[in-house]
Amino acid sequence: MKETQISNSEKTFVQKIIAGGHRLDGRIYSETRNLQIAFGSDYGSCMVSLGETKVLAQVSCEVVQPKQIRPNEGIIFINVDISPMAAPQFEANRQTDHTVNLNRLLEKCYKDSKCIDLESLCIVVEEKVWSLRVDVKILNHEGNLIECASIATLAALAHFKRPDVTRVGDKVIIHSIAEKDPIPTVLYHYPVCLTYAIFGSDILLSDPSYIEEAVCMCTFEEGSAGGGLLVVGMNQYKEPCLLDLTGAAIHNVNIVHKAILSASEKGKSVVDVLKKAIISDDTLRLKRVKINYADIITTEHKQSLIKKDISICLKNYNANDINPESDVEMDDDVQIVEPSKYDVVPTLPKTAELKVKAEKSAWIEISSEEDD
């Protein structure tokens, strides 16, 4: 199925509202959506949701022969799968530019940044090494797949534990989890990809939603400055690991600098959340609490029906604040709504018209040019 085109009115509306300093879902420019990390019953299985975008990652391992040029290093392989479940425009079992791009970005971020200690994955030099395979499955696409997928990949890798191995002479014994405690993967640093949508020449939106991504990527015939998506890979030590730009070229020199500064703060906070989640998961596992997706799937399911974050929202207004006592902050100039002067009058079947109420205007016109 073809991707639904963004209409002109949506485009102009989103552009105008962003130029006005707001966003469609009431966030500020640098605000991200709600991040949730949940772990499955197995080691290395995790589901990350960023607002309504959901990604499942699963790490598995097997023993293989190492590459000729790197005989003492393990192998890591990342596979991204986007199915029609994520959004109807994707086709099953077909590599598209989107999938390849996402795969390549994740490889750049986790393989090329050398965050994983590959040498520790070696069992017998030139004969046997562990090969880690990360399967990333997109469950729902609501914008910013890259950031969500990268957090999921990192969480799955950090959570993963491989079986312990002992060597007796030439023989290699792989112990089951019951026999010996499994070994966690060694990560030197925790890089995450953070996405920024560039609007105009100097507006940076973090964590763009689906419509914001679509609007900033579309080209304009009029000479207005095109936008693009800037992906910044950042680890918890505030070191950039990856920089990727899709869309129009950047005119402004400062924008990349600004993005990296903001990403360094955000990257650290994401890694902190992730580490906390892994530690709490570990303590729960030590207490032999059963952990699986069962409980989050039921609550998530309920949420997807009630839809906690409505894609169109006033700033700081929450769907649950139905009671009038809610403390909602104002961000705009104060507007005074006059009692309605309009009436909706049914005209044709199924349609209605706005009509000025047939009341006399309360305003009295006074000429200001009075003679002295």
Partner 1 sequence: MKVKIGDVVLPGDYCDEITADGVKSKVVLGPGLRKEVDHVYIMKAGVLRKRNPNTFWVDSYQKRYVPSRSENVIGIVVQKAGDLYRVDIGGSCTAALSYLSFEGATKKNRPEVQIGDVIYAKMLVASKDMEPELVCVDSHGKKGRLGVLNDGFVFKCSLNLIRKILNPICPLLESLKNEWPFELAAGMNGRIWIKANTMRETIAVGYAILGAEYLSDDEIKTMCTNIASILAGHVS
> Would you say 190 and 274 are in contact if contact means Cβ atoms under 8 Å apart?
yes
If one asks whether residue 351 binds partner 1 (CB under 8 A), the answer comes out as yes
Of 114, 175, 251, 307, the one binding partner 1 by CB under 8 A:
307
| DSSP state letters, 2-60 | PPPPPPHHHHHHHHHHHHTT--TTS--TT----EEEEE-SSTTEEEEEETTEEEEEEEE
If one asks whether residue 139 binds partner 1 (CB under 8 A), the answer comes out as no
Of the candidates 187, 172, 189, the residue with the CA atom closest to the CA atom of residue 239? 189
CB 350 to partner 1: min, Å: 6
CB 201 to partner 1: min, Å: 21
If one asks whether residue 100 binds partner 1 (CB under 8 A), the answer comes out as no
Which residue type does 276 have? K
CB 50 to partner 1: min, Å: 20
Which residue type does 257 have? H
If one asks whether residue 10 binds partner 1 (CB under 8 A), the answer comes out as yes
If one asks whether residue 5 binds partner 1 (CB under 8 A), the answer comes out as yes
Of the candidates 227, 63, 180, the residue with the CA atom closest to the CA atom of residue 131? 63
* Residue that has been written with the tokens 């069992």 in this structure: 123
Of the candidates 46, 44, 47, 71, the residue with the CA atom closest to the CA atom of residue 132? 44
Distance, CA of 367 to CA of 358 (rounded, Å): 25
Binding mask 13-32 for partner 1 (x = CB under 8 A): x--xx--x-x-x-x------
Segment interacting with partner 1, rule: CB under 8 A, options 43-51, 164-172, 227-235, 303-311: 303-311
Site residue total, partner 1 (CB under 8 A)? 50
Give the contacts of 252 (CB within 8 A, at least 6 positions apart).
Answer: 201, 202
Segment interacting with partner 1, rule: CB under 8 A, options 49-57, 113-121, 253-261, 348-356: 348-356
CB 53 to partner 1: min, Å: 17
If one asks whether residue 220 binds partner 1 (CB under 8 A), the answer comes out as no
Structure tokens, 310: 């409505």
CA distances from 339 to 315, 342, 352, 356 (A): 24, 9, 20, 12
Structure tokens, 332: 């705009």
CB 196 to partner 1: min, Å: 23
Looking at the Cβ atoms of 6 and 124, the one nearer to partner 1 is 6
> If DSSP codes are grouped into helix, strand and coil, which group holds residue 288?
coil
If one asks whether residue 312 binds partner 1 (CB under 8 A), the answer comes out as yes
CB 108 to partner 1: min, Å: 34
Of 69, 92, 348, 362, the one binding partner 1 by CB under 8 A:
348
If one asks whether residue 362 binds partner 1 (CB under 8 A), the answer comes out as no
| H-state helical runs in the chain | 8-19, 97-107, 145-159, 210-217, 254-286, 294-306
By CB under 8 A, the residues from 313 to 342 that bind partner 1 are 313-314, 317, 319, 321-324, 326-330, 332, 334-337, 340-342
Which residue type does 265 have? E
If one asks whether residue 68 binds partner 1 (CB under 8 A), the answer comes out as no
In this structure, the number of other CB atoms found within 10 A of the CB of residue 90 comes to 19
* Residue that has been written with the tokens 């709504």 in this structure: 337
Segment interacting with partner 1, rule: CB under 8 A, options 125-133, 165-173, 280-288, 347-355: 347-355
Looking at the Cβ atoms of 251 and 307, the one nearer to partner 1 is 307
Segment interacting with partner 1, rule: CB under 8 A, options 8-16, 77-85, 131-139, 149-157: 8-16
Looking at the Cβ atoms of 18 and 136, the one nearer to partner 1 is 18
The β-bridge relationship of strands 128-140 and 75-82 is parallel
Of the candidates 268, 40, 290, the residue with the CA atom closest to the CA atom of residue 159? 40
CB 86 to partner 1: min, Å: 15
Using CB under 8 A, list all residues that contact partner 1. 4-13, 16-17, 20, 22, 24, 26, 305-307, 310-314, 317, 319, 321-324, 326-330, 332, 334-337, 340-344, 347-348, 350-351, 354
